[in-house]
Amino acid sequence: AQTVTQSQPEMSVQEAETVTLSCTYDTSESDYYLFWYKQPPSRQMILVIRQEAYKQQNATENRFSVNFQKAAKSFSLKISDSQLGDAAMYFCAYRDGGSNYKLTFGKGTLLTVNP
Amino acid sequence: DTEVTQTPKHLVMGMTNKKSLKCEQHMGHRAMYWYKQKAKKPPELMFVYSYEKLSINESVPSRFSPECPNSSLLNLHLHALQPEDSALYLCASSQDMVTSGEDTQYFGPGTRLTVL
């Protein structure tokens, strides 16, 4: 079974600084997708970024970028120029390419942004 | 527009009550999901509907009864719940669950349920 590990239960960053959240996963599949979701205290789970395993290029969405290391099964999220609104629980998630419904989530990293 | 809406935002119910949670999406998605989320934990999948038919039931107790009246609506009927069922209930939708590819689940804001 696939597993997703987020080894940092909590992280903090100063406003305007950069922070990296770690995620590792275990799978025997070659076709899969990886996601970072953000869940602020207001509760709504929002997609931050998505990476397809077959793409070597790291995904980027504005201030959010990933470092996807397929051989190492690592998928870290970098947040640049951190803003107060980035404070949230961040979940890393995995999905097999052949299965559209089963998202395997990590336990989450709670990010605090200090002014 | 990637909006999934859920009502109510909060619900308090007794163990003998019957209540329903509602989810709606207008993205033309054909797969809809119910998740249960405890505080500071990841969501746990409960049910998946594909093309208005129940496709996946992750061994959820029968006191939770899902319903998909049409392709845009998803309900979760609650009856005889226990205090341990108190949680955030999230609805999500995606293009469908049959075709592999760059499909993504989009989540609603959730209903905070408290069972007394």
Give residue-wise pLDDT tens across range B83-96.
999 999 999 999 87
**Stretch B17-28: mean pLDDT:** 94
Name the nearest CA neighbour of B97 among B61, B54, B42. B54
The tokens for B91 are: 């609805």
A97–B98: do the CB atoms touch at under 8 Å? no
> Chain A: nearest CA to B30, how far in angstroms?
12
Q: Are B67 and B74 contacting, i.e. CB atoms less than 8 angstroms apart?
A: yes
Confidence check: pLDDT of B2 > 70: no
**Stretch A69-73: mean pLDDT:** 94
Q: How far apart are CA A92 and CA B114, in angstroms?
A: 27
Q: How far apart are CA A28 and CA A43, in angstroms?
A: 33
Q: What are the chain A neighbours of B88 within 8 Å (beta carbons)?
A: 43
